[in-house]
Structure 1
């Protein structure tokens, strides 16, 4: 495992750290593959009763790595490009399938695929001055990874349109008001608050995992499943990537 993804487990709480601050934790295929491996390890550790995902530096996650997107834009359907983008999609989809309840501890900014990462968690604690930005259209890209589904299932159609189509940026208090986050606290307190919540449920890992599985089933998938939405969006995103590269 490289230093770009860190895993620490203490008292039943797994802390997964995005640790590529030089590029604001933007996801490359290699980093995404590491994340998937870490989530697999977390699931294999029966003592883990909760997971906190956080980022080092100024951003939680700045989305897909610019060079990765540029390279893929030359021919999004090429084997390596297609597989690389698929790994990035799979990394936050895999977070959404982790057996233990998950919390995103979000400081700085989250953009594009970084938004998908925090949306994939069961709960979000965000900094008061956080910047939550969908950002796809501003880059000339169609959203990917089931972004519309992930966002709208939390904030509803109106707010999802404002953010994903019209580029509205959201801070911590607005995120709480919209239902996009449970709580907003000062930047320095974000991770402590997330760990406090995680520690409560992690005391009984077996129950936590069972309750989380049923919680996700009972609160229901959206009208269009996340998996289907990812595939529905992908051809449009590939088209937009190729257009941008041209």
Structure 2
């Protein structure tokens, strides 16, 4: 059954499991508007006692290729990302367990979005990258808390400093993702895991999740305030402009510390 939902957010239900599909072709780039739609959808599901678990998936090839710094989006996110992060931080206030089905690229803010989930099902073809430093600015989305929480401080530092892309097999090995399946099985396996969670007592699951994540939303929001302040300054630098240009031109950036 498909429920009424915003145009770029497709919401469907199968018994006690809700599936949220982000569909913004071709790369699922995100902005404040889409983050707001997603937050509103998750918070609406919190008020639905028949929903016991949520699957977050993509309606295009990429899970989410991050924030789009070209065209109109460069004039909003890179000038003042506060509206974007105000919506993104709401995602951590949702109460239902979330399984992310990552069958494609999860880059930058897209990787941050994947880390909102409790679990990530992925495949060898997926690509994860915290490419902020390679673009010339400080990581965001609260990832300075969420990434080391999953993979440890040393591995998080390596991913941040290099901006390297890793596949799904490596993501599972370091704890960034939880299950590795064939690409065509990512969504079915994520749904199966969500149904397995939904078979447990919902009050017990939600209270256990609350205990396990106690204070997480506050820690993420506090870190994001620092991230935002630093990003605002770095978005005005020549290095940031060079990083974005190099990405668009598919070349190695030449940074000059300015």
Range of TM-score over shorter length: 0.7 to 0.9
1:231 is matched with: 225
- Per-residue deviation, 1:11: 0.9
User: 2:8 — aligned with what?
Assistant: 4
- The answer for unaligned runs of 5 or more in structure 1 is 77-81
Q: Which of 1 and 2 has higher RCO (CA within 8 Å, sep 6+)?
A: 1
The one of 143, 149, 153 aligned to 1:153: 149
Q: In structure 2, what is the equivalent of residue 196 of structure 1?
A: 192
Give structure 2 stretches of 5+ with no counterpart.
243-258
Contact 2:32 2:85 in 1 (8 A): no
Q: Distance in 1 between matches of 2:34 and 2:196?
A: 30
Q: Judge conservation of contact 1:176–1:184 (CA < 8 Å) in 2.
A: yes
What are the residue-to-residue correspondences of 1:113-128 with 2, within 5 Å? 113-128=109-124
More helix per residue? 1
Which secondary structure state, in structure 1, belongs to the residue aligned with residue 120 of structure 2? strand
Q: Which residue of 1 aligns with 2:32?
A: 29
Q: Is residue 134 of structure 1 aligned with residue 159 of structure 2?
A: no
Q: Which secondary structure does the structure 1 equivalent of 2:153 belong to?
A: helix
Please report the TM-score for the alignment, with normalisation by the length of structure 1: 0.87
Change (3 A) 1:245 1:169: closer
Report if the CA contact (8 A) 1:17-1:55 is conserved.
yes
Give the TM-score normalised by structure 2: 0.84
User: RMSD in angstroms over aligned alpha carbons?
Assistant: 2.1
Shift of residue 28, structure 1, vs aligned partner: 1.8
Aligned residues: 234
> Superposed, which structure 2 residues align to 1:22-101 within 5 Å?
22=26, 24-66=27-69, 67=71, 69-72=73-76, 76=79, 82=80, 85-101=81-97
- CA, structure 1 residues 172+122, in 2 after alignment: closer, same or farther (shift >3 Å)? same
Q: Does 1:20 align with 2:14?
A: no
- CA offset at residue 86 of structure 1? 3.1
